[in-house]
Amino acid sequence: MENENTGAVRRIGVLTSGGDAPGMNAAIRSVVRSAYRRGIECIGIRRGWAGLISGDFAPMTGSDVSRIINRGGTVLYTARSDEFRTEAGQQKAAATCKLLGLEGIVAIGGDGTFRGALDLSRYGVSVVGIPGTIDNDIGCTDYTIGFDTAANTAVDCIDRLRDTMQSHERCAVVEVMGRHAGYLALHVGVAVGATAVLVPEYPYNFDEHVAEKIRRARLSGKTNFIIVVAEGAVSAVSVGEQIRAELGLDPRVTILGHIQRGGAPTVKDRVMATRMGYEAVRLLSEGKTNRIICAEGDKIVDRDIAEALQMKKTLNPEEFKVMTVMTGT
């Protein structure tokens, strides 16, 4: 075992909270195995903050996380907890940590998960967050676990859909997830060669963002069209209705929904999750707290939770420009 447990931490917990994302299991595996290598016992908390309140837990060893790196979802399950948002709920969760002797918690999830970790830290529990969400909308990090897998899943679905659209010379309007952010839609749209991509960061204008792009594509010889819509931008159904009413086409609307959150994680998600899990345990072993593990380019860094939650994220201007040039042709 590594002799790097400088903070003399003996036992930590790991949980997943909020929406599931491919790669969460890889992160859990990394936390458990990294803890073992440092002589730290790891306790799995089931069902996120709700499980910490109720005491839903199980000790985890290396054998418990064997063969989960390739599985989607989360073996620890996930849930949202209204009770944990209250002071009484947070006190119950802190009491569970005290009862079990948990000196630190690794929380895998999104902004809501990190706010919960920050609340728990006020009761003397060391916390480190790992960003896991397919939306890639966490301001403090360039990348979140699950994004690459979700994008590849959406691309695969649209590639299959395109075969039918080409055969019938039709227009497909496809809604992808992303909550209030357009990162997933932007990447998927560029990857599938979409006719148009609609993201919430830019106000929706049917004539400019859809109609004119379809017209230009038709004038260039295309007879089938793919419109990718981020769920937070505009209703895909309403876009389809406008296309039918104003352009005389017969569009088919497909909402991919939660299929994007499942499936085996890609290489990128497995590797990023493993690196982040290792770093989270390292920080706790050194007695550090209130940190979020972040990707900064190819580097893994950590930031203060309070400061990280204040950071904002915008679409990459260069990527958006590439999309605007590539669509409508």
- For residue 111, indicate whether it is catalytic: no
Catalytic hit among 20, 135, 148, 269: 135
What are the CA-CA distances from residue 71 to residues 18, 27, 65, 149, 237 (Å)? 18, 11, 11, 12, 33
Percent helix, strand, coil in the chain, to 5, is 45, 20, 35
Q: Are strands 11-16 and 104-109 parallel, antiparallel or unpaired?
A: parallel
CB of 11 within 8 A of CB of 100?
yes
CB of 78 within 8 A of CB of 52?
no
- Whole-angstrom Cα distance, residue 30 to residue 23? 11
- Whole-angstrom Cα distance, residue 194 to residue 241? 19
Strand order in the sheet with 252-255: 196-198, 225-230, 171-176, 252-255
Q: 300: part of which helix (H) or strand (E)?
A: strand 299-304
CB of 278 within 8 A of CB of 2?
no
Question: Which residues, in sequence order, are CB contacts of 78 under 8 Å at separation 6+?
Answer: 16, 17, 18, 19, 20, 24, 47, 48, 109
Question: Which residues, in sequence order, are CB contacts of 5 under 8 Å at separation 6+?
Answer: 38, 39, 40, 285
Q: 188: part of which helix (H) or strand (E)?
A: helix 183-192
Show which residues are catalytic: 135
